[in-house]
Structure 1
Amino acid sequence: MTIYSLYIFDRHCDCVYYHDWHRTRPVRAGPNDRPGVHRLPTASGPGARESIFSNANSNSNSASGSGSQQGLGMGQPGQQQQQQQGPAPQANGTGAASKRGLPFDEEAKLVYGVVLSLRNMVKKLSGKDDEQFTSYKTSQYRLHLYETLTGYKFVLLSDPQADSLRFVLRQLQTGPFVDYVVRNPLVDLDSRTQGIDNDQFRTAVDRHIRSLTMFGP
C-alpha cells in the first residue's frame, strides 16, 4: 500500500501545511501559494514529485469514471496519456501546462471543496448533526479525514486498499502538531498569510508516516 500526501486546513478553510511522498502526476507551485505551507520542488528538477490529480482541463475529456473520480480528475496513467495525445499543444502553452498538473493552490482548494461537500451531504442525508464523514474511496485513492475541535482538518490521501487511517491523523494531531505547532511561540495559528510549516514539524511528520507499515516503497 501507499500513502500519497497530507493536507492540513485551518478554521478559515485555508491550507496551512502540505507534505507528499508518492505521486503520479507533476505538481507545481501556484501563483497564490502562501509561505510556510509546502516545499515543492520544480516540476522539471531532479527528484520532482508528482500529483495524483490530473489537470482540470483533462476532466472534461474523461470518457468514464465515478462522480468523485471525475471531480478530482483521477484516471489510469494510460488513459490520461491517451487523452493528452489528442489535440496538439496550443501555442500559448496550455497543452504543456496540462501535463504539469494543477497548481498547488488550485489543488488544495479542490481537495477542501470535496471534503466540505461530502461532509455536508453526509449530515443532510443522515439528519443528524453529530454524523461524521471520515473517508471515501475511489478506484485510484482513498481520502481520510480527521477534524479537531478547533476547526483544523487533517486530510490524508492513500492507496484505495488501505484501511481507515483516521487514527494516524489523530496521532499526528496529538503528537507533532501539538508539540511543534501549537506549543511553538513562533507559529501564528490564526494567521491568514502564513502556514505552519517548520523544520521540526515537517521532520516529525515525515518520520511518523514513513514508520507506518502501509507506507509503501
Structure 2
Amino acid sequence: MTIYNLYIFDRNGTCLYYEEWNRRKQSGISQDEEFKLMYGMIFSIKSFISRMSPVDFKDGFLNFCTSAYKLHFYETPSGLKFIANTSLNVDSLKEILQHIYSAIYIEHVVKNPLCQLGKPIDSVIFKSIIDGYIRGLPIFAVE
C-alpha cells in the first residue's frame, strides 16, 4: 500500500499545494497543465455524478479506481478540494483528508497570519507537518 501524491485546490481551481512521495511515472506535461487537468477532471466527475445519480446522496463523490491507482476526494464546505492518489488496496481516505484539512490546514495555514489564503502554500512548517503525517500513516510504504 502506498500514497503517491496529494493535491489541495481552492474553489477557483488554483492548486495551493502539491506533494508527491512514491510516484513512479510522471505525467509528461508541465505541472501547471497537470493541475488544470486534475481540477477539470474533478469538476467534470462531480457534475456527472450529481446529474446521473439515481439517488440523492449526502457525501457526494469520494473516490474512484482505475486499473493502476485509486483517487480519493474530499471537499470542504468552503470549496477546498483535497485529492490523494494511492495504490488500489488502500481503503477510503475520507477521515485522513478531513484530518489534513481540520488539524493541519486550518491550524497552519488559515490561522497563520503569514499565509495568504488563495495563494500557493509556501510554509515550511505546513510542508513538514504534512510530510510527517503522510509518512507516519500505516498505509504509507515505499513500493
> Residue 17 of structure 2 aligns to a residue in which SS?
strand
2:106 to 178, 187, 191: 178
Q: Relative to structure 1, is the Cα distance of residues 164 and 180 closer, same or farther in structure 2, using a 3 angstrom cutoff?
A: same
Q: How does 1:70-89 map to 2 (within 5 A)?
A: none
Aligned position for 1:120: 47
Question: With CA pairs under 8 Å and 6+ residues apart, which has the higher RCO, 1 or 2?
Answer: 2
Q: How does 1:19-98 map to 2 (within 5 A)?
A: 19-25=19-25, 51=26, 53=27
Q: Percent identity?
A: 39
Query: d(CA) in 1 for partners of 2:103 and 2:129?
Result: 9
Query: d(CA) in 2 for partners of 1:175 and 1:131?
Result: 20
Larger proportion of strand: 2
| Superposition CA RMSD, Å | 1.4
Q: Relative to structure 1, is the Cα distance of residues 205 and 131 closer, same or farther in structure 2, using a 3 angstrom cutoff?
A: closer
Query: d(CA) in 1 for partners of 2:59 and 2:85?
Result: 22
Q: Which blocks of at least 5 consecutive residues in structure 2 are unaligned?
A: none
- The answer to whether the Cα contact below 8 Å between 1:10 and 1:153 also exists between their aligned partners in 2 is yes
Q: How many residues align?
A: 141
- The answer to whether the Cα contact below 8 Å between 1:4 and 1:22 also exists between their aligned partners in 2 is yes
Aligned position for 1:154: 82
- What is the identity, as a one-letter code, of the residue corresponding to 1:20? E
Query: d(CA) in 1 for partners of 2:126 and 2:24?
Result: 25
- What is the identity, as a one-letter code, of the residue corresponding to 2:98? R
- What is the identity, as a one-letter code, of the residue corresponding to 1:179? E
Aligned position for 2:133: 208
